[in-house]
Chain A
Amino acid sequence: MNPFLAAAVFIILAPVVGILITGLDRILTARMQGRVGPPVLQPWYDIRKLIQKKQVAVWGAQSFFIFCYLIFIIFTGALFFAGGDILLVIFAFTLAHVFLVLGAYVSFSPYAHIGAERELIQLMAVEPMIIIAAIGLYQVNDSFLIGEMADHPGMPILLLPGVFLGFIYILTFKLRKSPFDLATSHHAHQELVKGSTTEFSGRTLAMVELAHIYELVVMLGFIWLFFGANLILCALAIVVIMFLEILVDNCTSRVRWQDAMISAWFVTLVAGAGNIFALSIM
């Protein structure tokens, strides 16, 4: 596909897919708790509602940083689906998150501040694994271009089982799911209030939500790369993985940041780094 077309398709379709997945996620979560749950389109209603609210902020700069966050998440995704260089995608991704963190810092609010610090810890915890995943995919495909990775006829996952496992582990951080929802959480009412998003409201919060949705699609895109051209298997895997994530989310409680970070690094080292090291010897 033409890269620009692919990027445009991503920008338009990702929210649809993301909202459906998030909506199903909420229903599934409710069912696991013996409830009925909201309509599938609930995330969409939430975002639309937030846009209708009046904008309040501690400092105006907050919304600026969050705007940058959204723009760069979209940019990351567009670059990804346009088939760009995977390392650049990762770096743009990091840049986007730094904007989110800065947005949280600006307000000088205790809850947002702790949220920002923890957001950074999460960033530090997942970054190695994401880069290692990119390198692993390079080793299999012999190219850093996502466009070429996507056409891989075989199944990269067969050569990268460790990398895949490690990636699933850090996916929990990225989806902000328990036990690694350190910075902010989908579940209400806790000691951090809403962590890094505490001081955002109205349109700004809507941008955060939208960015999370784009982010979800990008992360699922990464999973796709492990399956190359086998789209059906890939879809199946995504269903299974999302189900597991939701299950874990519902039956664990948040861990301390030390445990989260060290365990993520450990898994990265053993599963991820071990895997690519073995590949390079072969």
Chain B
Amino acid sequence: MLSNVRYMELLIFLILFPLLIAGLITLIHGENFRRGAVICGAVLVGIASLFALMGSVTSHPIFYSVPVGIIGILIFIGDIAISGYIIFVSTKARQYLVTAITIIQLILLCAVEYLALSDHATIPELFLDQLSGIMAAIIGIIGGLICVYALGYMREYHTEHPERPDKRPQFFGIMFLFLSAMFGVVFSNNLLWLFFFWEITTLCSYLLIRYPETDEAIKNAFRALLFNLVGGACIPIAFIVIFLSHGSDLIGLHELVVAGPGIALIPAGLIGIAGLAKSAQFPFSSWLVGAMVAPTPVSALLHSSTMVKAGVYIIARFAPVFEGQLIGILIALIGGVTFLAASAIAISQSNAKKVLAYSTIANLGLIVACCGVGTAEALWAAILLIIFHAIAKSLLFLSVGTVEHQIHSRDIEDMTGLVTKMPRITMIILIGIAGMFLAPFGMLISKWASLHAFVESVPPFGILLVIIIAYGSGITAFFWAKWMGKLIAVGEPQQKDESHIPKSEKNILYILSALTIGVCFGFPIISWYLIEPWLQNIYQSVTELISLSNIEIMFMMLFLVLIMPFSLARFSRSASRVPRYLCGIPESRSTEFIGSCGITREIELSNYYLDKIFGEERLSRISVGIGIFLIVLILNIIIVGGGL
């Protein structure tokens, strides 16, 4: 075990080292150098983040004050620089709404800084506890893997789209800058720092979404920026509230949470709104769907496994404040509505990336619902969801990216019978999908836990959430299962051909699928050593959250699933092949039959999308409406509460 000081050096290393890599990659061009730097950087960041995870396995959080006073000023200057840059690009692109919001934010920030100068606080800037450790490991390991994957992917991307400008040095630079900022978010105790890193992630997301430089990409990038800024603007307001009412001692995350709901509720609610925007909850969700124009590694890293998780991370931090409060319930309801609506919309989508995007929004909704409820059990489920979702979803995004480069389509219908063409990749996608909704994989364990958690909490609202999950889980099963079905439905076996896939991509996919299965086995360990001690710290008394017999059952099921593939070989031998039944019409070839008048016809089968019922436009209109209503309700409560 390292000493505390060493750990703090580790944190600073994690924040600064990706920055160094980012600088190197941007400045020194050349494919080989970039390759080396990205791989080295990813490995080192991964290892360091694992150390951070191990370091967090102590019973108490470790706090650390950075001894350099000047950093506060530097961060303020950084904030101004970011705002300045956004004002510059948005006026150039005539996105005046973005400009206006940035200016408002800047003014608020100056006010905060003015207050902070007169009332200088002495709180630890950085800290490390179990939740930070878990988040850091997700960022470090999955982020690293995705960066390495992106090496091969981006090369193919530019051969496929020669018309788009090749700015790979900047691309990888921004990716590493983003990693650095994410570490900053999860390690910051000082909320001013946290806000600074938060804004960097928003900026990175904007830059990466507009990477293709098509009109659509630019438009969607600004939409993402706009929604995140609207949310982000709530944070400085929260600061002002803190400074004016309680002074600068509460500007630390830990201090604020410990202060209890009486004091912290209003700032927490405001910051919670920023979290909702960041994690793409209704009514903000449309930016995440638009963000899918970005190259797939970006979608995997920013828009499913890490950046959007910053939103739920911050809500999870304030969960103890929200527990049993009306604001918490409203936030939970927003999460619940988002879970239900986004899952339903996913049914009507045939674009694989959009399905993934909506399912991401839905799962974030579930996490938000857990955090909003804020009981120990709900939070336990939320953190497990964060872990499982990050791994399985990035696996799915990356494998869809790989498939897309091979079949030149991201449409699920075009993936019919993929199992014969790319058996390994299909297997990986199947693992990923199973990880998203089937017992005994992780997401389902968490869903189970959240049902347990909701049923007892804040009656009758808990039951409302339970009902939402009940409907949502049926819907989720529908759209995932039909995708699975498409992959394995074999019309005519195609030539097996996986040789064009870059080695690095394949290896990353293997590692991620191993992780998906691995965390299912390891989740009791994660729970005992990380999540439960963390909850113990926050809630003092924690009952045993998952009883031993249930773990046994889960293992039994996992075991069943794992041995099944071995019996596959036995069955495929024992049956003799007979063509499919077409009312007696013979097949001339495997997927063709002779129709009336002797015309040869192809069998075409496509999935149900039920868009009369689950149409995207209709459902999003309704749920954005509900979302706005709930957000306004929260704001009203905050204003009224602040006035009292």
Contact = CB atoms under 8 A, between A and B. Distances in A.
- Contact between chain A and chain B defined by CB under 8 Å: yes
Interface of A: 54-64, 67-68, 71-72, 75, 79, 84-85, 87-88, 91-92, 94-95, 98, 101-102, 104-113, 116-117, 120-121, 123-129, 131-132, 135, 138-139, 144, 193, 198-199, 204, 258, 262, 265, 268-269, 273, 276-277, 279-281
Contacts of B488: 61, 102, 105-106
Closest 4 CB pairs of A and B: A60-B572, A127-B474, A105-B485, A109-B580
19 contacts: A55-B575, A55-B576, A57-B576, A60-B573, A61-B572, A84-B553, A85-B448, A92-B439, A95-B557, A98-B438, A105-B484, A105-B486, A111-B581, A116-B485, A124-B474, A128-B470, A132-B470, A199-B580, A280-B460
Nearest to A203: B574
B455 interface: yes
Interface string B63-89: 000000000000000000000000000
B542 interface: no
Interface stretch (B34-42, B405-413, B603-611): B603-611
Contacts of A123: 474, 477-478, 481
A211 B521 CA distance: 29
Contacts of A95: 438-439, 557
Given A57-B575, A79-B553, A105-B488, A132 B439 contact: no
Nearest to B557: A92
B375 to A, nearest CB: 15
Contacts of A88: 439, 448, 550, 553-554
Contacts of A126: 474
B447 to A, nearest CB: 8
Query: Interface range on chain B: under 10, 10 to 19, 20 to 34, or 35 or more?
Result: 35 or more
Contact of A281 (B459, B478, B489): B459
Contacts of B467: 128, 132, 269, 273, 276-277
Interface stretch (B207-215, B250-258, B361-369, B563-571): B563-571
B553 A135 contact: no
Secondary structure call for the B interface: helix
Contact of B572 (A64, A98, A110, A198): A64
Given A61-B568, A98-B477, A128 B471 contact: yes
A45 B173 CA distance: 70
Contact of A135 (B463, B474, B484): B463
A46 B481 CA distance: 30
B417 interface: yes
B463 to A, nearest CB: 4
B583 to A, nearest CB: 8
Contacts of B438: 94-95, 98
Contacts of B554: 88
A174 to B, nearest CB: 13
Interface string B474-506: 110110011011101111000000000000000
A108 to B, nearest CB: 5
Contacts of A268: 470-471
B550 A85 contact: yes
B207 to A, nearest CB: 40
Interface in B440-477: 444, 448, 451-452, 455, 459-460, 462-464, 466-467, 469-471, 473-475, 477
Contacts of B93: none
Contacts of B417: 108
A68 to B, nearest CB: 6
Contacts of B477: 94, 98, 120, 123-124, 127
Contacts of A277: 460, 463-464, 467
Contacts of A111: 581
Contacts of B100: none
B579 interface: yes
A133 B70 CA distance: 60
B31 to A, nearest CB: 42
Given A61-B572, A67-B567, A139-B455, 4 more contacts: A107-B580, A135-B463, A199-B580, A276-B466
Contacts of A265: 471
A61 B484 contact: no
B94 interface: no
A125 B580 contact: no
A91 B439 contact: yes
Contacts of A56: 575-578
B591 interface: yes
A4 B172 CA distance: 56
A135 B438 CA distance: 20
A43 to B, nearest CB: 24
A265 B610 CA distance: 15
Contacts of B550: 85, 88
A5 B583 CA distance: 47
B578 A101 contact: no
